[in-house]
Amino acid sequence: MHIEFTDEQEQFRKVVRDFAETAIAPHAEAWDRDHTFPVEVVREMGELGLFGLPFPEEYEGGGADLTTLCIAIEEIARVDQSMAITLEAGVGLGASPIFRFGTEEQRQRWLPDLCAGRALGGFGLTEPEAGSDAGGTRTRAVLDDATGELVVNGEKAFITNSGTPLTSLVTVTARTDTPGSEGPPEISAVVIPSGTPGFAVAPPYRKMGWHASDTRGLSFADVRVPADHILGERGRGFANFLAILDEGRIAIAALAVGVIQACLDESVAYAKERQAFGRAIGSYQATAFRCADLAVMAETARLLTYQAAWLRDTGQPYTHAAAMAKLHATEAAVTATRHATQVFGGYGFMDETLVSRHYRDAKILEIGEGTSEVQRLVISRGLGLPLER
């Protein structure tokens, strides 16, 4: 399959690349070092229209497709993964569930600010005891018949964009079945606005990477929200979120493509410049072959990613393709950062280098929005294998 972008998409790529190289790249190392979430730059990303790309214009969106969003994420990821995941999560986890499953009233209430980048939303699925086993959710939302409100109690862990100055809401999965009832748990999605009494946001985690991205734990102690804050059909919260993850996996793959491309670009440039034994290190096969491998990784990851995006944009089944793209691109990104760090040698071990930051940041790509093991499970089931459930 030949991937060909439209002229409009290529022009858009240039705009985003220019923004990334002028507004993000010069400051990314300092943000990483100081663990700074750059609020003003995120607002500028909103003004550029990035957070509203795949949503209709009536909600202040851009009316674009997933492919165009992936282009933006790829270009930003080349210079900084933290800002790329801020965009990816803001669109895929913050705004998409409301657009996909919300009522028109909910869309009108929350989407315009999310699309314009005036606000950010998070999605709380993972809990301290429920990660890939998200069906093990313990957070509960119980209807108080006297007030008509939902009362939410529980905890969430590792939630992106959940405690920034721009965060306006978090959508959480919660059990809405009767305690003690038999059968599979009934899990619904509930929108909880920031600042709601009883909703506590923990301090940012100390992380190996993504230092400029906001990631926190959340807790809910008798949090009360109106019953109309249930998002989508009651009992469909977990299933709906899995559908959201299919799109998110393609976007994470695009982020990984940007990382691999950066590793290739940085390694080739350094291999031409760095001298050893009187010659550029790129003249030695050990280095040249690493660069060749990086080129193959970038090409294969890009093809799988944009094929999956094309399937989604053209209304074809894409769950299997999304899992393949996410699995291959993220694992290739981890390998690519290791190769690039080796090319740079001692300099690659220094935190101020881009390849060092990408090396630390990349590991989470194999974990977030579905681990590599989960992707292999999805792919295996797509092959018709009789796996246990």
What average pLDDT is seen over the chain?
95
Residue 134 has pLDDT above 70, yes or no: no
Cβ-contact 54, 68 below 8 angstroms: yes
Q: What pLDDT shows up at residue 129?
A: 85
Question: Sorting pLDDT into bands at 50, 70 and 90, what band is 354?
Answer: very high
295 burial type by CB count under 10 A (0-12 exposed, 13-18 middle, 19+ buried): middle
Tell me the CA end-to-end span of the chain in Å, nearest whole number: 34
- pLDDT tens, position by position, 55-99: 999 999 999 999 999 999 999 999 999 999 999 999 999 999 999
Q: For residue 2, what pLDDT is reported?
A: 67
User: E strands within the chain?
Assistant: 120-124, 140-144, 149-160, 167-175, 187-193, 199-201, 215-226, 230-231, 275-276, 279-280
Percentage of the chain exceeding pLDDT 70: 98
pTM: predicted TM-score of the whole model, two decimal places: 0.95
DSSP structure string for 289-353: HHHHHHHHHHHHHHHHHHHHHHHHHTT---HHHHHHHHHHHHHHHHHHHHHHHHHHGGGGGSTTS
- Homologous superfamily assigned to 7-120: Acyl-CoA dehydrogenase/oxidase, N-terminal domain (1.10.540.10)
Is the pLDDT at 389 greater than 70? The verdict is: no
**What's the CATH number for 122-233?**
2.40.110.10
- Give residue 181's pLDDT: 73
Kindly indicate whether the domain formed by 239-382 is annotated with CATH number 1.20.140.10: yes
**pLDDT above 90 (res 136):** no
Q: What is the pLDDT of residue 276?
A: 95
Q: What is the pLDDT of residue 178?
A: 77
The predicted pLDDT at position 1 comes to 62
Residue range(s) occupied by CATH 1.20.140.10 in the chain:
239-382
Q: pLDDT (tens digit, 9 = 90+) per residue, 192-217? A: 999 999 999 999 999 999 999 999 99
Predicted confidence (pLDDT) at residue 132 exceeds the cutoff of 80 = no
Active site residue 373: no
Contacts of 102 (CB under 8 A, 6+ apart): 110, 111, 231, 232
Instruction: Kindly report, residue by residue over 163-180, the tens digit of the pLDDT.
Output: 999 999 999 999 998 776
* pLDDT class of 135 with cuts at 50, 70, 90: low
Over residues 306-314, the mean pLDDT reads 97
Distance, CA of 90 to CA of 75 (rounded, Å): 16
Q: Given pLDDT bands bounded at 50, 70 and 90, which one contains residue 185?
A: confident
DSSP 8-state code for residue 130 = B
CATH 2.40.110.10 residue ranges in the chain? 122-233
Q: What is the pLDDT of residue 130?
A: 79
**pLDDT at residue 234 above 90?**
yes
Catalytic hit among 88, 155, 366, 369: 369
pLDDT tens column, 24-34: 999 999 999 99
d(CA 325, CA 336) in angstroms, rounded, equals 16
From residue 183, give the alpha-carbon distance in Å to each of 142, 179, 258, 266, 368: 18, 11, 44, 54, 29
Average pLDDT over residues 252-256: 98
Structure-token match 């990631």, residue found = 215
Phi, psi (deg, nearest 5) at residue 153: -135, 135
Would you call 5 exposed, middle or buried from its count of C-beta atoms within 10 A (0-12, 13-18, 19+)? middle
From the list 301, 211, 288, 307, the residue with the least C-alpha distance to 260 is 301
